[in-house]
Amino acid sequence: MAIDVGVFGAAGRMGRTVCEAVCADPELRLVAAVDPYHEGLDLRSVTGVDCDLHIGLDGGTLAEAGATVAVDFTVAAGARENLHWCAENGVHAVVGTTGLGEEDLTELASIFTSSNCVVAPNFAIGAVLMMRFAELAAPWFPTAEIIELHHDLKVDAPSGTAMLTAGRMAAVSSGWAPDPTVDHVVEGARGGRGPGGIPIHSVRLRGLVAHQEVLLGTTGQSLTIRHDSFDRSSYMPGVLLAVKAVGERPGLTVGLDAILGL
Ligand code: NAD
C-alpha cells in the first residue's frame, strides 16, 4: 500500500523537488502540499509538478488529506512549528531543514512519542558515505585536509558537512601530525582549522553546486575521497529512503547512517 505524504515548504526549491520525486515513486502518494506564502495556489502552476493539489496553510492540510508522513524543507523556525504539529498529531516526519541545534534535537526526541522523526543535515547518500569513509580512514593517516566547494551564493563557510566530516574524523583519531608552516605569506593560506585542527579550505565558484574532497596522506601514499552533488535531485534517493523507513524507526533518528546500515 502506498504511503501518503505531505510536504511542508512545497513551493521552495527543495520542496518542489520532493513533490516531484514523491509523485514519481509508485510506493508513495503525494496527498498534501503546504507553504504559507503560496497558500491557495495550484501546486501545478507553482511547481510544475503534475499533481492535482492546492497548496495549504499549515498542518491542517495534512490532517484533512490523511498524510502519514510529512517531509519538511522550510526554515528552522517554521520547521519547529511543523514538527510540533506532527508530533501532536501522530504524523511521522522527515526533516531536511538546516539550522536545528542540539536543543532542538533533544526536544524532538522528547516529543516524538506517538510517531517518529528522521532529521538529516545531508540527504545525499554519497555525502553520507564520504563522511563514513573519511571516519574509517582517519586513524590510518596522520595528515588530512578537507576542501569543500560550493556555488557562489553560499553565505557561510565552511559548510556544515565539512565541519561534520572533520568532527567525525577528529573523534576517532588524535594522532594528527603538526603543521610545519611557520611563514604564512598570505593570511589564511593554510585554510581554517576545524575540529582536531584539521585544515578546511572553502572554495566559492559560480557554476558549482555542492562538492567536497577529503584528502588523507601518510608515508608514500594518499587517499582522496570526493563527493559531488550536481543538482537537488542528488538528495532525493535519501529523502525517499527516509520517507519509507521513518515508520519503522521509533523516536528520533539523526542522520541517514543508521537507515543505510552504516
Ligand atoms: P527555499 O527558500 O527555496 O524554500 C523554503 C520554502 O519553505 C519556501 O517556499 C517558504 O515559503 C516555505 N516555508 C517557510 N516557512 C514555512 C512553514 N512554516 N511551513 C511551510 N513552508 C514554509 O529553501 P530551499 O533551498 O528549498 O531549502 C530549504 C531548507 O532545506 C533549508 O534549510 C536548506 O538549508 C535545507 N537543505 C537541506 C538539505 C539536506 O540534504 N538536508 C539539502 C538542501 C537544502
As a whole number, mean pLDDT of residues 148-171 equals 94
* DSSP-assigned letter for residue 116: -
Banded model confidence at residue 151, pLDDT cuts 50, 70, 90: very high
Which ligand 1 atom sits closest to the C-alpha of 10?
Answer: 9
In the reported structure, the alpha carbon of residue 110 is separated from the centroid of ligand 1 by a whole-number distance in angstroms of 24
Banded model confidence at residue 127, pLDDT cuts 50, 70, 90: very high
Query: What is the rounded CA–CA span in Å between residue 176 and residue 248?
Result: 40
In the reported structure, the alpha carbon of residue 13 is separated from the centroid of ligand 1 by a whole-number distance in angstroms of 7
Banded model confidence at residue 155, pLDDT cuts 50, 70, 90: confident
The answer to whether 80 and 103 are in contact (CB under 8 A) is no
Q: Is the CB of 121 under 6 A from ligand 1?
A: yes
C-alpha cell at 69: 508522513
For the beta carbon of residue 74, count every other beta carbon within 10 angstroms.
24
Instruction: Please tell me the residue having the least CA distance from ligand 1 atom 34.
Output: 98
Query: What is the rounded CA–CA span in Å between residue 52 and residue 32?
Result: 10
pLDDT for the residue numbered 141: 98
| pLDDT tens-digit series, residues 193-219 | 999 999 999 999 999 999 999 999 999
Banded model confidence at residue 4, pLDDT cuts 50, 70, 90: very high
In the reported structure, the alpha carbon of residue 98 is separated from the centroid of ligand 1 by a whole-number distance in angstroms of 8
49: buried, middle or exposed (CB in 10 Å: 19+, 13-18, 0-12)?
buried
Which ligand 1 atom sits closest to the C-alpha of 75?
Answer: 32
- Helices 125-137 and 236-245 cross at an angle (nearest 10°) of 90
Catalytic residue positions, numbered: 150, 154
Mean pLDDT rounded to a whole number for the chain: 96
| pLDDT tens-digit series, residues 86-107 | 999 999 999 999 888 899 999 9
As a whole number, mean pLDDT of residues 176-203 equals 96
Residue 161: name the closest of 96, 207, 82, 105 by CA. 96
Residue 116 has pLDDT above 90, yes or no: yes
Entry pTM: 0.93
Q: Which residues pair with 30 in a beta bridge?
A: 5
* Sheet-wide strand order for 117-119: 55-56, 28-34, 3-8, 69-72, 92-95, 117-119, 252-254
